[in-house]
Chain A
Amino acid sequence: MQKFSIWSLLRNSMSYHEGWEKQWRSPEPKREYDVVVIGAGGHGLATAYYLAKEHGLRNIAVVEKGYLGGGNTARNTTIVRSNYLWDESTALYEKAMKLWEGLSQDINYNVMFSQRGVMNLGHSLQDMRDIERRVSANRLNGVDGEVLSAAQIKEMIPFINLNTRYPVLGASLQRRGGVARHDAVAWGYARAADAHGVDIIQNCEVKGIRREGGAVAGVETAKGFIKAKKVAIVAAGHSSVVADMAGIRLPIECRPLQALVSEPLKPIFPNVVMSNAIHAYISQSDKGDLVIGAGVDQYAGYGQRGSYQTIEQTLQAIVEMFPLFSRVRMNRQWGGIVDISPDACPIIGLTPVKGLYSNCGWGTGGFKATPGSGWVMAHTVAQDRPHALNEALSLDRFYSGHLIDEHGAAGVAH
């Protein structure tokens, strides 16, 4: 791997930047791998990277239906935070947060992680009680958090209109939260995994999962059969479709989640603001565009687009809270397909098929967990048992009843 640094930048500027090598190879699949990861999004690539880096596996492939990082990794609103309510989920998101804090150095790729703070607004007395409870739970779990009054919010965002139909009474603030450059996360993990010898095979849709005697034998793909000792399904948005190939039923419903970006503006928005109650969240990218996210659509959908009224409601909320954005024009709008699980928590772990592992159900907030998700998934696959951090997040919880209800802290109404 060609190391990125100020010196390599200077050296390459001498040759008109024509000497940069490709960041990853595009190999043809080998006949057999130790591990095949299905899905080259952030989570799948991170899984492959940590399998190679932390567990010393070398014969790994990541197979991808379309192009690398072209699914939900490219479609989210790039928010990173770890202020969840329950111990089980907080521990995993906080692990991810700690990895985020050193990620650019670790993978030698600038993921533009910017800890500018994430605010979750409270619009009613009950919202504020929930915020107090969640911030207290966060602090007990070693996650930073504070409760802000309306006046403190106004101080940070002078142009916010607090006296809206659903008045802003206060907020929680996680200062270590922020945003990261979503594409760079996929590219950085791809480059770092490739440097460890991981084969990333794009345009190679998985058509079937071959099993022999209750254990996984390999995957049927658009480029033929690939033999594998272990297979990890990390295909958010198509989790049920892929799991169905192995006869596994999941408690997931895929739904469209929409987002929009505006034309670029000069820097105005200081942090990330989310409102659970009115289904809107907003931040400003380093490029200058306002990045706005909506709530999920009400029906199941694989179409990567959603209902117009959902966008309309979101923008009404944004404009009411930030009236000075009323004349900002929206540039683009899109939808991603999110795996909604019954308790708004991911499902990571073993499946009834030996050697087959599943990582799904991240709902509306998988991006923030990318490093942590890959890290625990790599452990689960390499050791054939879950890590302490994802033990409680197995598929078994839907049979035992030990659900982890994160609907309140998941941030987006569903």
Chain B
Amino acid sequence: MLLIQCPWCGERAETEFTCGGEGGIVRPATSESMTDAEWGDYVFMRKNPKGLHHEQWRHSAGCGRWFNALRDTVSYRFHGVWKIGEPAPAQAAVHGGGAV
């Protein structure tokens, strides 16, 4: 079982968390003028990388808050966590994570 660092509560067992999939997906502001292709891309298409992945996780059986994580999808190791709204750590920025 993984030990996951919650940015608010500290290190807890994996079973306390829910993975919310790819992080940093920004809801489009121009929804009324978007094409089907743009909607499909936003709603369904995912990066699904083999390697470092920017994800959103929720400490659902703890504080209940969402946070960002950078995790390796091969070793499953967490390389960093940061709160929603905070700038991503330098390493995450390299891999496409922005301030979200």
Contacts and interface: CB of A to CB of B under 8 A. Distances in A.
Interface of A: 238, 240-241, 249-254, 298-303, 307-309, 342, 398-401
Given A241-B50, A399-B36, A399-B39, A251 B44 contact: yes
B87 to A, nearest CB: 24
A134 B42 CA distance: 32
27 contacts: A241-B48, A241-B49, A241-B50, A249-B45, A250-B45, A253-B22, A254-B48, A254-B50, A254-B73, A299-B73, A299-B76, A300-B19, A300-B21, A300-B53, A301-B74, A301-B76, A302-B50, A302-B73, A302-B74, A303-B73, A303-B74, A307-B1, A309-B1, A342-B44, A398-B40, A398-B44, A401-B36
Interface residues of B, number: 28
Interface string B11-37: 000110011011000000000000011
B48 A250 contact: yes
Nearest to B15: A309
A253 B36 CA distance: 21
Contacts of B73: 254, 299-303
Contacts, number: 68
Nearest to B36: A399
A254 B39 CA distance: 22
Contacts of A249: 41, 45-47
A303 B75 contact: yes
Contacts of B71: 299
A301 B72 CA distance: 8
Nearest to A403: B44
A311 B43 CA distance: 31
Nearest to B19: A299
B27 to A, nearest CB: 17
Instruction: Identify the 6 closest CB pairs spanning chains A and B, nearest first.
Output: A399-B40, A251-B44, A240-B48, A249-B45, A299-B19, A398-B44
Given A249-B45, A251-B46, 9 more contacts: A241-B50, A251-B45, A252-B48, A254-B50, A300-B55, A308-B1, A398-B40, A399-B40, A401-B36
Contacts of A254: 48, 50, 73
Contacts of B55: 299-300
Contacts of A251: 44-46
B2 interface: yes
A342 B40 CA distance: 11
Contacts of A400: 36
A54 to B, nearest CB: 32
A179 to B, nearest CB: 30
B48 A307 contact: no
B45 A253 contact: no
Nearest to A254: B48
A308 B21 CA distance: 20
Contacts of A399: 36-37, 39-40
Given A249-B41, A399-B36, A300 B48 contact: yes
Counting chain B CB atoms within 10 Å of each CB, which of A250, A299, A303, A401 scores highest?
A299
Nearest to A306: B76
Contacts of B74: 301-303
Contacts of B76: 299, 301, 303
Given A249-B41, A398-B44, A399-B36, A307 B2 contact: yes
Nearest to B2: A307
